[in-house]
């Protein structure tokens, strides 16, 4: 049996010393303005898992499972949130995950392979891809004020 889910997440930037993307720290002048570490790639993956298996989490979303007003989740690594979700969905497993990340900067050309390799380990699958895109100067992302990620995840039982 297979199921598919689509996920999305976005965050504004704030002054900082790096973005966490796919569990990898990308050194730059920004951090995400978020309650957790703001890892938009992992948040979009969690969102896609919740979409594929709505019955497992009683039709909740990432914000109701990990509320941003709960101090337990303040500055938490999104990897820990993903690990919780992956444990809860057993016997389901990730078969494949395809991510698009939209940001003007920092440029990810030299870090994409690191992100993919880390996600392969976290998701326990070789079928992972991450494709960086820009917003061609449009909107909040084009103005270099934030970033977004979307993905599709296929799960198998």
Residue (of 16, 13, 10, 8) closest to 32 by Cα position:
13
Residue (of 49, 20, 61, 45) closest to 129 by Cα position:
45
The number of beta carbons lying within 10 Å of the beta carbon of residue 124 is 9
| CA 27 to chain CA mean position, Å | 17
Distance CA 66, CA 51 (A): 16
Look up the pTM and report it: 0.96
The number of beta carbons lying within 10 Å of the beta carbon of residue 39 is 27
- Would the pLDDT of 132 be above 90? yes
Q: How confident is the model at residue 12 (pLDDT cuts 50, 70, 90)?
A: very high
The domain limits of the chain are: 2-156
| Per-residue pLDDT tens over the stretch 16-63 | 999 999 999 999 999 999 999 999 999 999 999 999 999 998 888 898
Looking at domain 2-156, its CATH superfamily turns out to be: 2-C-methyl-D-erythritol 2,4-cyclodiphosphate synthase (3.30.1330.50)
């Amino acid at each position: 049996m297979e199921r598919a889910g689509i996920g999305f997440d976005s965050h504004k930037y704030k002054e900082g010393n790096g973005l966490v993307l796919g569990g990898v720290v990308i050194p730059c002048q920004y951090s995400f303005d978020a309650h957790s570490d703001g890892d938009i790639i992992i948040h979009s993956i969690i969102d896609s898992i919740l979409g594929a298996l709505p019955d497992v989490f009683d039709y909740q979303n990432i914000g109701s499972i990990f509320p941003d007003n709960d101090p337990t989740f303040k500055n938490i690594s999104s990897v820990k949130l993903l690990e919780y979700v992956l444990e809860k969905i057993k016997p389901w497993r990730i078969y494949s995950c395809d991510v698009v990340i939209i940001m003007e900067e920092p440029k990810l050309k030299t870090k994409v392979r690191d992100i993919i390799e880390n996600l392969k380990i976290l998701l326990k699958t070789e079928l992972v891809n991450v494709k960086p895109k820009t917003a061609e100067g449009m909107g909040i992302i084009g103005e270099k004020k934030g970033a977004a990620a979307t993905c599709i995840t296929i799960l198998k039982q």
